[in-house]
A and B are shown apart, each in its own frame.
Chain A
């Protein structure tokens, strides 16, 4: 009895070994998931090469087994194998497009918020005008102009998703600009640049980083939609979007696994990104951190 009471639960042992406090376990798991998937998709061509155009028509729609961990699709291609390559494309599109959108939105929102007045009004009306158009339609327009390719997909997502970032940055800068601690900094002799880099940006950056990170899943979805419409990547190239759409036909025949692996990969990876993003935001906001005891 005494033995049982004194022996700490397994989870607690693991925590103390890794010097984790409660609440950090999820962060470590998310970090490991992300590290594994990103490293796996980066190293895949070296470790597990894939011939994108190869088909095996004698092995179509095989259920998951030890030879095909996630089954095969309607052309006999290994779903798990292609999902790894699909993730490469989706992460690339997601990350680069989110970065493009953040930089564009950050610059526009930052200029509007800092300068204010007429510049602010003109820039924000431009943002409103673009936001009034359906962004998928705008994205299709951009891809059609540039002709379907990886770069066009990135441009299409990046150029249509900076609007919310611009609004976030602008409102953050506006609300900070007249706070007494900015007054105090000016009064203490700080110049424009120092106030911007030392007092404004550090407060905006966490929000911006969070917006960027949360945009990655959205960008992946956008890539899916474009692929579905035939404007994304060529159909024989594996991307998570292409694969989920290919899987639709197989679903009707009972081969549910064709869409499962790429779908699950999107969910797991985006969830891991979101957990890490939240943790990052908390680090920057000491008040939240104090409440969470992180």
Chain B
């Protein structure tokens, strides 16, 4: 049970004001495993992703990466630890800085961690090829590309640090079928190559069943709302 490295949200409770969104939720994602997460709207799926991505401090409970408990969030988390978990959000529009070209968008995490420029360029080209961004698209800024193209860039950005865990929050919901399949394939390949743990949130039952090794139902763990 404890042998496989894993990302764990242990008995996590989060509330906004008086409303409890997550009540003692435990989710475990093993390396190499795909966990599907489903639940009705507003049951705290996105909050759980933010907690797991070390972006939101839970009121109770803790997050651990490969057995190491992480009590800090956001800037306070050491960069080496932060970059091991990457998140892919539902809306690529909101998740992309509108000022950056797609190339700069993908390169940004590398530049933020002071990677030499030559290495940055090489890695960005590699990833842009992987997610299928044509050379013509790479110099454009977010407003000049479609949601699908932007989500591909966001996927490339999420993979840029070779994270051990990838959290996909409705990442394919806004995409057309072929883009959806391509994004899913890229994530699948990455997972196999890197032995990464993947969390997939989706309302699409078929997609969840086809993609996940096991499915966690958040509705079952959610409290009765007052």
0/1 interface trace, chain A 178-215, chain B, CB 8 Å (1 if under): 01110111111111101000110011000000000000
Within 8 Å of chain B (Cβ to Cβ): is A290?
A: yes
Within 8 Å of chain A (Cβ to Cβ): is B9?
A: no
Q: Report the Cα distance A184→B109, complex, angstroms.
A: 9
Within 8 Å of chain A (Cβ to Cβ): is B98?
A: yes
- Contact A187/B94 with A202-B99, A290-B143 known, Cβ cut-off 8 Å: no
B55 touches which of A183, A189, A290 (Cβ 8 Å): A183
Interface of A (DSSP majority class): helix
The answer to whether A189 touches B79 (Cβ under 8 A) is yes
- Contact A286/B141 with A186-B74, A187-B85, A202-B99 known, Cβ cut-off 8 Å: yes
Q: Report the Cα distance A179→B96, complex, angstroms.
A: 10
Interface residue total, chain A, C-beta cutoff 8 A: 23
CB neighbours of A191 from chain B (8 A):
75, 79, 112
Within 8 Å of chain A (Cβ to Cβ): is B82?
A: yes
Q: How far is the CB of B3 from chain A (nearest CB, A)?
A: 28
A184 touches which of B54, B79, B89 (Cβ 8 Å): B89
The answer to whether B98 touches A190 (Cβ under 8 A) is no
The answer to whether A181 touches B157 (Cβ under 8 A) is no
The answer to whether B94 touches A179 (Cβ under 8 A) is yes
Within 8 Å of chain A (Cβ to Cβ): is B161?
A: yes
A190 touches which of B54, B89, B109 (Cβ 8 Å): B109
Q: Report the Cα distance A179→B92, complex, angstroms.
A: 12
Within 8 Å of chain B (Cβ to Cβ): is A7?
A: no
CB neighbours of B82 from chain A (8 A):
186-187, 189
Within 8 Å of chain B (Cβ to Cβ): is A287?
A: yes
Q: Report the Cα distance A199→B154, complex, angstroms.
A: 16
The answer to whether B53 touches A187 (Cβ under 8 A) is yes
A-B CB pair tally, cutoff 8 Å: 77
The answer to whether B95 touches A290 (Cβ under 8 A) is no
Q: How far is the CB of B77 from chain A (nearest CB, A)?
A: 9
CB neighbours of A189 from chain B (8 A):
79, 82-83, 109, 112-113, 161
Which size bracket describes the interface of B in this complex?
20 to 34
Interface of B (DSSP majority class): mixed
Q: Report the Cα distance A226→B215, complex, angstroms.
A: 72
Q: How far is the CB of B7 from chain A (nearest CB, A)?
A: 14
The answer to whether B143 touches A286 (Cβ under 8 A) is yes
CB neighbours of A290 from chain B (8 A):
143-144
CB neighbours of B144 from chain A (8 A):
286, 290
Question: Smallest CB-CB separation from B144: which chain A residue?
Answer: A290
- Contact A188/B83 with A183-B50, A290-B143 known, Cβ cut-off 8 Å: yes
Question: Smallest CB-CB separation from A191: which chain B residue?
Answer: B75
Q: How far is the CB of A134 from chain B (nearest CB, A)?
A: 38
A188 touches which of B74, B99, B141, B161 (Cβ 8 Å): B161
Q: Report the Cα distance A202→B83, complex, angstroms.
A: 24
Q: Report the Cα distance A184→B82, complex, angstroms.
A: 11
Within 8 Å of chain A (Cβ to Cβ): is B108?
A: yes
Contacting residues of chain A (163-188) with chain B, CB-CB under 8 angstroms: 179-181, 183-188
CB neighbours of B95 from chain A (8 A):
180-181, 183-184
Q: Report the Cα distance A290→B144, complex, angstroms.
A: 8
- Contact A180/B91 with A186-B55, A189-B83, A286-B98 known, Cβ cut-off 8 Å: yes
Q: How far is the CB of B137 from chain A (nearest CB, A)?
A: 15
Q: How far is the CB of B160 from chain A (nearest CB, A)?
A: 7
CB neighbours of B75 from chain A (8 A):
186, 191-192
Contacting residues of chain A (241-286) with chain B, CB-CB under 8 angstroms: 284-286
The answer to whether A287 touches B143 (Cβ under 8 A) is yes
Question: Smallest CB-CB separation from A194: which chain B residue?
Answer: B112
- Contact A286/B99 with A184-B157, A187-B53, A188-B157 known, Cβ cut-off 8 Å: yes
Q: How far is the CB of B49 from chain A (nearest CB, A)?
A: 10
Q: How far is the CB of A185 from chain B (nearest CB, A)?
A: 7
CB neighbours of A183 from chain B (8 A):
50, 53, 55, 87, 89, 95
Within 8 Å of chain A (Cβ to Cβ): is B97?
A: yes
Q: How far is the CB of B91 from chain A (nearest CB, A)?
A: 7
CB neighbours of A194 from chain B (8 A):
112
Within 8 Å of chain A (Cβ to Cβ): is B63?
A: no
Chain A residues with CB under 8 Å of chain B are 179-181, 183-192, 194, 198-199, 202-203, 284-287, 290
The 4 closest A-B pairs by CB, nearest first: A188-B109, A190-B112, A180-B95, A189-B79
Pairs A–B under 8 Å by Cβ, sample size 14: A180-B91, A183-B87, A183-B95, A184-B157, A185-B97, A186-B82, A187-B83, A187-B85, A188-B108, A188-B109, A191-B75, A202-B99, A287-B98, A287-B143
Given A188-B108, A188-B161, A286-B98, 18 other A-B residues pairs in contact with their CB atoms under 8 A: A180-B94, A181-B94, A183-B55, A183-B89, A184-B96, A184-B154, A185-B108, A185-B112, A187-B53, A187-B87, A189-B79, A189-B82, A190-B109, A198-B112, A199-B97, A202-B99, A285-B98, A290-B144
